[in-house]
Amino acid sequence: MRRQCLILTLSSLGLGLGACGSLDNEPFRAGTVRGRLTEFDPAVALVTVLGAPGVRSGVDVQGRFTLEDVPAGPAELFVLATSDKAARVPLTVQGGQSVDVADVSPRAGGTFFVKLHARGNRRVAEATVTVEGTPIEASGLDDNAPRHVGPLPTGCYGLSFSARGFISTSVQDCVDAGKQTVLNVELVPDGSSAEERCALTGCGGDGRSAMEGRGVKSPEDSH
């Protein structure tokens, strides 16, 4: 009888552990982040997660924001406060919990001054640039009118360029607070062979186009 009771107890324990293993852990994979901007323009202000721009929030009349479904773990807030001020805020998000960050005081942002061109007689029109991992993008770029892209908090970013008739290009560079970084970006026509791409942009020792993965910074970077 005693042995039978022991077997029943162990069986019940096994069922209990099995039930725990089947619990839905989804709520613990994300958390909520709350905070407040000390300076903002309601028409511009936007708070997102760097690398996950789809997770976003505006601000209320007091500058408060709430971000929901932020992936648990190390993260960094990307903050657009006004037309010329921004911020990045590192934090750690606990799954299933709410995190209150200290008041965010935006600083003067930097910008990329983008100049597009293509060799030969090819014209660049209606190009689009996206700052990867952020909500910042611009369309309608051409080779006649350089464009400021920003504001961006101090840091390094990847930028993706696309235009009809040209191969999509990605470059990387950095910006500093209150300064602009000039990017001369040369787009390569669609249908170009590897040799033609090298002739247009130069190639590294591995035969890859020199434009792959980096930007071309002009020496006349202005401040």
Give the pLDDT score at 24: 52
Residue 199: predicted pLDDT = 53
Q: Are residues 124 and 197 in the same domain?
A: yes
CA distances (Å), origin 169, targets 8, 160, 172, 213: 66, 6, 10, 8
Q: What is the pLDDT of residue 191?
A: 76
Q: Report d(CA 11, CA 52) in Å as an integer.
A: 45
Domain stop point among 50, 77, 107 = 107
Q: Would you say the C-alpha torsion 60, 35, 85, 151 has a positive or negative sign?
A: negative
Asked if 78 and 148 sit in the same domain, the reply is no
Give yes or no: residues 95 and 130 share one domain. Answer: no
Q: What's this model's pTM, rounded to 2 decimal places?
A: 0.76
| Claim to verify: residue 97 and residue 119 sit in the same structural domain | no
State which amino acid sits at residue 40.
F
Residue 85: give the domain boundaries. 26-107
Low-confidence spans in the chain with pLDDT less than 70: 1-27, 192-223
- How much is the pLDDT for 119? 75
pLDDT digits (tens, 9 = 90+) for 148-177: 999 999 999 999 999 999 999 999 999 999
Maximum distance among all Cα pairs of the chain, rounded to whole angstroms: 95
Alpha helices in 109-157 (DSSP H): none
| pLDDT at residue number 121 | 76
Summarised one tens digit per residue, pLDDT across range 100-119 is: 999 999 999 999 999 999 97
| CATH number for 87 | 2.60.40.1120
Answer whether 55's CB lies under 8 Å from 13's CB. no
Q: Is residue 83 domain-shared with residue 152, that is, in the same domain?
A: no
Give domain status of residue 221, yes or no. no
In one-letter notation, the amino acid at residue 114 is V
For residue 101, tell me if it sits in a domain.
Answer: yes
Separation CA 204–CA 189 (nearest Å): 19
Mark whether 92 and 46 lie in a shared domain: yes
Structural domain contains residue 119: yes
Q: How many angstroms separate the Cα of 47 from the Cα of each of 63, 93, 152, 162?
A: 11, 15, 13, 26
Is the same domain home to 86 and 127?
Answer: no
Note whether 101 and 123 are same-domain residues. no
Q: Structurally, how many domains does the chain consist of?
A: 2
